[in-house]
Chains A and B, each alone.
Chain A
Amino acid sequence: MATTTTTPMAFSGRPSVNWTLTFQRVITLVVILLLWQFALMSGLLPKITPGVPDIVTSIFTVVTMGNFWVGFGYTLFAALAGWLLSCAIGVVLGLLIGTVRPLDRSAALIVEFGRAFPTIALMPVMMLVLGATTNMKITMVVLAAVWPVLVQSILGSRRLDPGIVSTATVFQIPKGLWFRKVLLPSALPFIATGVRISASIAILAAVGVEVLTQVPGLGRLITLAQEAERWDNALAYLFFAGIFGWLVASLLGRAEGRLLRWNRQSDD
């Protein structure tokens, strides 16, 4: 899972509705859907591809089906659990690596290797060790989603100002308090970016593992729908996976805007 290092983006603290932007986004969506439908009718897409109206109908029928919600729940649980674990592990490890000099040097190679490693390739091993279980799914999610948080936490902890360090030293701030109230907040703008990227990866990884291993969840439903040649349903499931990812990302963006108000101001 290759991850890029991104500097924290500024999010507006107070949500204000930008009508022009909303309009533009709707237009883009409509254009894409029209292109899809047009491509299908002109024979550019294979015959079995469902049309836009079919998918829309499917989206509404799928919602009424119990097995969709069960599958969605399974995926959600694994993604959420894996993501939370990734955040906890990534932040603690990252801040330690970033501040303890010898650890930083010795861990650099592993971190570079890990973030570039195709996690999916580990799945056969994980299947052997843990079996086709929820635990295996969560482990896979962590293996995929921990890297952005880890890398961003390391970068964030290096950003700590020497002036702040001197201040904390002179005023004899104890280690634990220093970690929570000095290092962590200082690194938080970077960590937030990692956490956001990691959330999308978590959902992606959970669905991916389900598709490949047939562990219950949205991914398995997608495979089953494909096998039954219900492409409309398969796409409806994908739609929900996407919507969920978007929802999580925008919620995190909101939280970030509120929590990191100080960061944008002090950079002025």
Chain B
Amino acid sequence: MSNTESVPGGTLTRVSEDSLLRVTDLSLGYGEGADEKRIIENLSLTVGNGEFVSIVGPSGVGKTTLLKGLSGLLKPKAGQVVVGGGALEGPHRDVAVVFQDYSRSLMPWMTTRENIAFPLQGRGQKKPLRNKAADEALDAVGLGGQGNKYPWEMSGGMQQRVAIARALAYNAKVLLMDEPFASVDAQTRFDLEDLVIDLREKLGVTIMLVTHDVDEAIYLADRVIVIAEKPATVVDVIETGFGTHRDQVATKADPRFQDARGRILTRLRK
């Protein structure tokens, strides 16, 4: 944790007993030896059980690379990711991901129910059981009774709800979201944001969201982690302190929201 001291007001070392996801001195990159290109360097953070953490950073800083590292799609060059007590060596049963591009993450040849039940099938769950889980997940995201539809019969927002339902049904300990609302229109985006807040309130899921949208990062999270520089590392950490309930109008008008917004934007402009 070399940069703990440099973080103004940071709570980087908040190591709680129930921290679910712990990233220690993580370095990620591509290539080997002389061709190696570091994207993420010495990044450390923890996410507590039931916490909602946003990671915000400018475009091209390496947010998607970080998410790949956290989901086990990319092996660390150094450091480690610990989920629920064990170091991550690849994709993990306790980590589910909602990808940005729903149209390329849902399988068009499967109905929504089949899409949600598919990872459970991979886990060897019997058909009636996994279908029941899929239908419950569809209910939870407000798409009850739409299990027989195909993704391409739905709007973008609905498809992303299906992707969220799939991650919920997977019943992982941590939900990683990679710019999940970037490909939908503004109104749908607000609806989906509120859906996620609602799901978190009801189900107590632990969520880590990666975004370039500062407002979204603050609005949704308990804690906003700002990453910047090349290679990227944590440059600031902000506790939002809004509790679990939020409101698109009231929360965004809150002085704490404005303060956080100003602080992050200033930090990102450096």
Interface residues of A (CB under 8 A from B): 161-164, 166-167, 169-174, 177, 181-182, 185-186, 188, 261-263, 265-266, 268
Given contacts A161-B104, A181-B118, A266-B151, 11 further A-B contacts (CB under 8 A): A166-B97, A170-B73, A171-B166, A172-B91, A172-B123, A177-B122, A181-B110, A262-B109, A263-B109, A265-B150, A265-B152
Q: Given A172-B91, A265-B150, answer yes or no on A166-B105 (Cβ-Cβ < 8 Å).
A: yes
Interface of A: prevailing SS: helix
CA distance A169 to B73 in the complex (A): 8
Distance in Å from the Cβ of B124 to the closest Cβ of chain A? 9
Q: Given A171-B91, A171-B170, answer yes or no on A164-B121 (Cβ-Cβ < 8 Å).
A: no
Contact B152 A172 (CB under 8 A): no
Contact B108 A163 (CB under 8 A): no
Q: Given A262-B150, A265-B152, answer yes or no on A172-B93 (Cβ-Cβ < 8 Å).
A: yes
Contact A173 B105 (CB under 8 A): no
Distance in Å from the Cβ of A139 to the closest Cβ of chain B? 34
Contact B107 A185 (CB under 8 A): yes
- 20 A-B contacts (beta carbon < 8 Å): A163-B99, A164-B104, A164-B107, A166-B73, A167-B105, A167-B107, A170-B73, A170-B91, A171-B96, A171-B119, A172-B122, A173-B118, A173-B122, A181-B107, A181-B118, A181-B121, A185-B109, A261-B150, A265-B153, A268-B152
CA distance A181 to B121 in the complex (A): 11
Is B89 on the interface with A (CB-CB < 8 A)? no
CA distance A181 to B108 in the complex (A): 11
In the bound complex, residues from chain B placing their C-beta under 8 Å from that of A181 are 107, 110, 118, 121
Is B131 on the interface with A (CB-CB < 8 A)? no
Contact B150 A170 (CB under 8 A): no
Interface residues on B, range: 20 to 34
Instruction: Select the residue from A164, A173, A174, A262 with max chain B CB neighbours within 10 A.
Output: A262
Chain A residue nearest to B111 in the complex (CB) = A262
Contact B119 A262 (CB under 8 A): no
In the bound complex, residues from chain A placing their C-beta under 8 Å from that of B97 are 166-167, 170
Chain A residue nearest to B114 in the complex (CB) = A181
CA distance A112 to B224 in the complex (A): 55
Distance in Å from the Cβ of B85 to the closest Cβ of chain A? 18
Contact A182 B107 (CB under 8 A): yes
In the bound complex, residues from chain A placing their C-beta under 8 Å from that of B23 are none
Contact A263 B108 (CB under 8 A): yes
CA distance A173 to B73 in the complex (A): 13
CA distance A177 to B123 in the complex (A): 10
Distance in Å from the Cβ of B110 to the closest Cβ of chain A? 8
- Total cross-chain contacts (CB, 8 A): 70
CA distance A166 to B109 in the complex (A): 17
Which of B71, B121, B152, B153 has a CB less than 8 Å from the CB of A170? B71
Contact B105 A164 (CB under 8 A): yes
In the bound complex, residues from chain B placing their C-beta under 8 Å from that of A182 are 107
Which of A166, A170, A174, A262 has a CB less than 8 Å from the CB of B108? A262
CA distance A166 to B151 in the complex (A): 18
Is B58 on the interface with A (CB-CB < 8 A)? no
In the bound complex, residues from chain A placing their C-beta under 8 Å from that of B96 are 170-171
Distance in Å from the Cβ of B88 to the closest Cβ of chain A? 12
Distance in Å from the Cβ of B71 to the closest Cβ of chain A? 5
Contact B122 A170 (CB under 8 A): no
Distance in Å from the Cβ of A126 to the closest Cβ of chain B? 39
Contact B101 A163 (CB under 8 A): yes
Is B95 on the interface with A (CB-CB < 8 A)? yes
CA distance A265 to B149 in the complex (A): 13
Q: Given A170-B96, A171-B96, A173-B119, answer yes or no on A186-B101 (Cβ-Cβ < 8 Å).
A: no
Which of A164, A169, A262, A265 has a CB less than 8 Å from the CB of B91? A169
Instruction: Select the residue from A170, A263, A265 with max chain B CB neighbours within 10 A.
Output: A170
In the bound complex, residues from chain B placing their C-beta under 8 Å from that of A177 are 121-122
In the bound complex, residues from chain B placing their C-beta under 8 Å from that of A172 are 91, 93, 119, 122-123
Contact A170 B118 (CB under 8 A): no
Distance in Å from the Cβ of B70 to the closest Cβ of chain A? 11
Chain B residue nearest to A188 in the complex (CB) = B109
